[in-house]
Amino acid sequence: MLDSLLIATTNPGKRREFAELLVRLPVTLVWPDERGLRIEVEETGDTFEENARLKALAYAQASGLWALADDSGLEVDALGGAPGVHTARYAGPEASDAQRYGLLLARMREVPSNRRGARFRCAIVVAAPDGRSWATEGACEGMIAQAPSGAGGFGYDPVFYMPEWGCTMADLPAEIKNRVSHRARAAQAMRRLLLDEIIPHG
């Protein structure tokens, strides 16, 4: 019976977003710190989905609960799709968000506006304790800004410019970001999958 869903993240920004994106699902959202879970999962996958599955399965097996994990990142056309699956470790494992996007801006300094296309991509995997898993994906197109802007969001949001909104993702109100972001789109697809196929059968 799927009545509790462990959200496999310790990232406060992701925790805040998932709490909003998955609200009103007929399950109780559970967080790792509530169960005393401290799991380090080596992200050795070649794709966002592979990394998300590694995390979801590890948390499901360690907790005995159904678990949801995501892996997401930034693909920059002028950098051949980098940083990609290495987005969180782009400037080293201990770097801050500002250091990561600062390095990105430095490497993009000579790239003209018409070649600064980029996208955020997110994969979400839900895993059962018995090893079954389901995946959804979402993407959000934009471009790399010349300089950071905005105090909202986290990660690379301050340098991800969204032409249709005329601002960076960090400038967007949370209620709009949670409709249009890569994570929102993957979560919306997973919500439908949970309601239609997973929760009814447990």
Which residues are annotated as catalytic?
71
Q: What angle do CA 55, 58, 64 make, to 5 degrees?
A: 130
Distances, alpha carbon 76 to alpha carbons 30, 31, 108, 119, in Å:
34, 32, 10, 7
Relative orientation angle of helices 12-21 and 182-193, to the nearest 10 degrees: 50
Residues sharing a CB contact under 8 Å with residue 13, sequence separation 6 or more, in sequence order: 153, 154, 155
Do the Cβ atoms of 5 and 27 come closer than 8 Å? yes
Residue 123, Cβ neighbours under 10 Å: how many?
26
